[in-house]
Structure 1
């Protein structure tokens, strides 16, 4: 006999027993439901009889009390409603009663039909027609006494017997079904244990060898093979197991080769990803690049407080006539590479270069209140860097630098060769500060002056006229305020400057131009 047939017979036996148990449960549930309905109906009838008895007793008592009071007045409307409600309860009791009880309830209903008019006549005649009231009272006492002392007690006893019988029937049914359920369940468990024991004993011997083989193959011993002793399902599993071991050995060889190739490809993909990421971060700020990668677009941002810095070389046009194209590009690359390092050191953001012009900004994309001071320090380092370099023909360039502070709108434009850029009057005025400046001088607008005047010394230029025919107050920054240079030592940021920077901005200065620690020369040579 195959394992499948053995299991099928065992499970069918267990299912048959459980189906029998389920049938008994359904039958007992139906019996309990019927018994519960009968018990519920009996309890409801008891409740109605108690209410009827209470109402009749109350009306009889009220009638007795009112008859002894001179000139008594009654609320006939409320009393009539009570009489009517009692009649409705008797009718409901009749409908809830079974055939054996309806005769007694019908007697109650007939007696009440005589009692109700007597009550009505009494309460309507009270204080109006005493003779009629007395006659009605005598009639009501007769029928009321019959209801309270004969009809209701007999009916109540009959209903109490019915309720007790329904309760006993419910308990007997419940106890019987529980006994049957427990018996069938116990027998089912016994049969299940016996079937499980014989099947388990048969399977254990074969499965122990399969388990050993699985353990050895799981330990990566793919050369092990299981001996096949039978042609039933166990023998089929053993044969399939051996085939699986052959396939695993072959797959392991292929997987090893594929993993080697995949590792090499992943390394190449990672190198290309790092190159792409590096190129992207070279043209876009990190936050902008992250938003573009996540959303496919960068929403325009309004920055209410940004410092823009523009530079332009003096003498560049003349050098283009003297230097070869490749030499000129190499020279510009040297200057702008140095500017990039300075901008990075002071936490500024390079925007772009146009020809020999260099444009950067502070305060975006990360907002920081120190950007006017940081941009001014970076401008000093840019001038110093230009002063330290010499062209191939032995000459030196000079640089004009202009700064302005205010609100801008930033965004990414285009879908190919896109660039992060800023727009607004602040940017235009910053460019005018550069073009209206002087060689190797830092020209700043009134907003910048107000933001950095506690850190730097200035030379007022008065008002200058821009290309737009606007007069603007501008200043040359000549150096650090002398009071902030007290205690300066080579290689260390002046303590007074550091303290003021920390007080104003709550952080340490990102850097400090080392050459400013040396006694300053003429401002035009900064």
Structure 2
């Protein structure tokens, strides 16, 4: 952090502007002031909240941002603000900065309005002084010379006043070789130099503004890409928890509904078409399933080969988890039947569904995956593997929840590996008149 602090200290943000970096929790990371981001109390070192530091401007700026957005996590994009403190106006810019999953900082720059105006006032004072000098010379020369030089001095005076008012497009036309001609040439050169300096300053300001805007846009785009990639891997709620704490996540859910599906006939098909065509076909099928999962607000867990796993009722609990899974299963059947008709290939889907408690979460430190554990998962998998092509096999637990809304056909007792005999049912369709 000392390197960051040295860098911020080296920045010259106006005469009295300040820069500081805070975490999303409000803890100070570094600043351009002598303020340290921690305090030493005995043998303990404690981090300092930005809103509690000793530096007046840094502290009041942090409090203003917390008051405006509620907390630091409420600042999700670059902000340009201004506020008044003790009768003085301040300009404020906040830019979020994130580095993958490791850093989530806010970079804050605050500058008094007086700093912006100081250079302008100084230039005006200098210009006014030059004008006064030129005017004094004109008065002295006018008193000592004949009336024929009055007109050139009047031109000089008029041009000087125009420059004092900010109009630098001034050229005094005096075709003389005496002192007045020299003064006019010097005045024209001074005006040209001021105009050139002003143009350079304006161009530099535009260039700096564009660089800041482009860099801010790049950072924002990178952040959005990282967020999108993370949300394609993990549920949003779980991703947000991992950003705060990368320790293992394990949540217990007392009732969810799990679906396993397997494409029947996919293995023989792989011997008749190229690997690329095979992968494209599987991508087409699973992309269709992904759209169904999104429509019914279900959580896709994973795919293994030509097997697909999805669950309803987590990471956020919902009462209709079994109905949503049943609706998706019926539409998965319909989608495969339509694809079979299009391709003229013998493709069918075997689906198994079970309802019960599970533990869900993320373990390990690399290649995160949101997964489920528990006997409910094993039984759901057995429902798929012991089912029949083109059928949806469900357990008694799922049947009890859905039998009033869907049509079922009892399959009877079957031998389930590791569970013995179990009563199962075939899910056929929705009840007539029931809305899915």
- TM-score bracket, normalised by the shorter chain, equals 0.5 to 0.7
Counterpart position of 2:129: 227
Select the residue among 299, 321, 330 that pairs with 2:271. 321
Q: Does residue 455 of structure 1 match 2:358?
A: no
Q: Does residue 266 of structure 1 match 2:266?
A: no
In structure 1, the gaps of 5 or more residues are 1-210, 231-244, 486-496, 499-511, 513-526
Counterparts of 2:259 and 2:296 in 1: how far apart (Å)? Answer: 13
Counterpart position of 2:136: none
Q: Deviation string for 1:24-59 (max 9, x for gaps)?
A: xxxxxxxxxxxxxxxxxxxxxxxxxxxxxxxxxxxx
SS at the partner of 1:419?
coil
Q: Does residue 434 of structure 1 match 2:337?
A: no
TM-fit CA distance, 1:413: 2.2
Counterpart position of 2:345: 395
Counterparts of 1:355 and 1:285 in 2: how far apart (Å)? Answer: 22
Counterpart position of 2:238: 288
Q: Deviation string for 1:154-185 (max 9, x for gaps)?
A: xxxxxxxxxxxxxxxxxxxxxxxxxxxxxxxx
SS at the partner of 1:403?
strand
Using a 3 Å threshold, how does the CA distance of structure 1 residues 255 and 477 change in structure 2: closer, same or farther? same
Matches within 5 A, 1:65-464: 217=120, 225-227=127-129, 252-297=202-247, 299-390=249-340, 394-464=344-414
Counterparts of 1:247 and 1:409 in 2: how far apart (Å)? Answer: 69
Using a 3 Å threshold, how does the CA distance of structure 1 residues 418 and 222 change in structure 2: closer, same or farther? farther
Counterparts of 1:254 and 1:223 in 2: how far apart (Å)? Answer: 23
Counterparts of 2:229 and 2:124 in 1: how far apart (Å)? Answer: 48
TM-fit CA distance, 1:285: 0.4
* Greater strand fraction, Structure 1 or Structure 2: 2
TM-fit CA distance, 1:295: 2.2
Q: Considering only CA atoms, is the larger Rg found in Structure 1 or Structure 2? A: 1
Q: Contact 2:260 / 2:309 at 8 angstroms: preserved in 1?
A: yes
Report the count of equivalent residues.
262
Counterparts of 1:424 and 1:351 in 2: how far apart (Å)? Answer: 14
More deviation, 430-439/256-265: 256-265
TM-fit CA distance, 1:268: 2.1
Counterparts of 1:216 and 1:293 in 2: how far apart (Å)? Answer: 44
Counterparts of 2:351 and 2:328 in 1: how far apart (Å)? Answer: 11
SS at the partner of 1:347?
coil
Counterparts of 2:267 and 2:315 in 1: how far apart (Å)? Answer: 34
Using a 3 Å threshold, how does the CA distance of structure 1 residues 427 and 222 change in structure 2: closer, same or farther? farther
Counterparts of 1:224 and 1:295 in 2: how far apart (Å)? Answer: 58
Q: Deviation string for 1:49-99 (max 9, x for gaps)?
A: xxxxxxxxxxxxxxxxxxxxxxxxxxxxxxxxxxxxxxxxxxxxxxxxxxx
TM-fit CA distance, 1:335: 0.3
TM-fit CA distance, 1:408: 0.5
Q: Contact 2:248 / 2:363 at 8 angstroms: preserved in 1?
A: no
Q: Contact 1:291 / 1:297 at 8 angstroms: preserved in 2?
A: no
More deviation, 430-439/382-391: 382-391
Using a 3 Å threshold, how does the CA distance of structure 1 residues 424 and 251 change in structure 2: closer, same or farther? farther
Counterpart position of 1:17: none
Using a 3 Å threshold, how does the CA distance of structure 1 residues 249 and 382 change in structure 2: closer, same or farther? same
Counterparts of 2:124 and 2:311 in 1: how far apart (Å)? Answer: 66
Counterparts of 1:392 and 1:327 in 2: how far apart (Å)? Answer: 15
User: What value does the CA root-mean-square deviation take over the aligned residues?
Assistant: 3.2
Counterparts of 1:425 and 1:266 in 2: how far apart (Å)? Answer: 49
Counterparts of 2:124 and 2:266 in 1: how far apart (Å)? Answer: 76
After TM superposition, the score normalised by the length of structure 1 is 0.46
Q: Contact 1:217 / 1:224 at 8 angstroms: preserved in 2?
A: no
SS at the partner of 1:473?
strand
Q: Contact 1:306 / 1:405 at 8 angstroms: preserved in 2?
A: yes
Counterparts of 2:241 and 2:127 in 1: how far apart (Å)? Answer: 57
Q: Deviation string for 1:410-437 (max 9, x for gaps)?
A: 1112222111111100000000011111
SS at the partner of 1:389?
helix
Q: Contact 1:222 / 1:248 at 8 angstroms: preserved in 2?
A: no
Using a 3 Å threshold, how does the CA distance of structure 1 residues 252 and 223 change in structure 2: closer, same or farther? farther
Counterparts of 1:265 and 1:336 in 2: how far apart (Å)? Answer: 38
Counterparts of 1:466 and 1:342 in 2: how far apart (Å)? Answer: 29
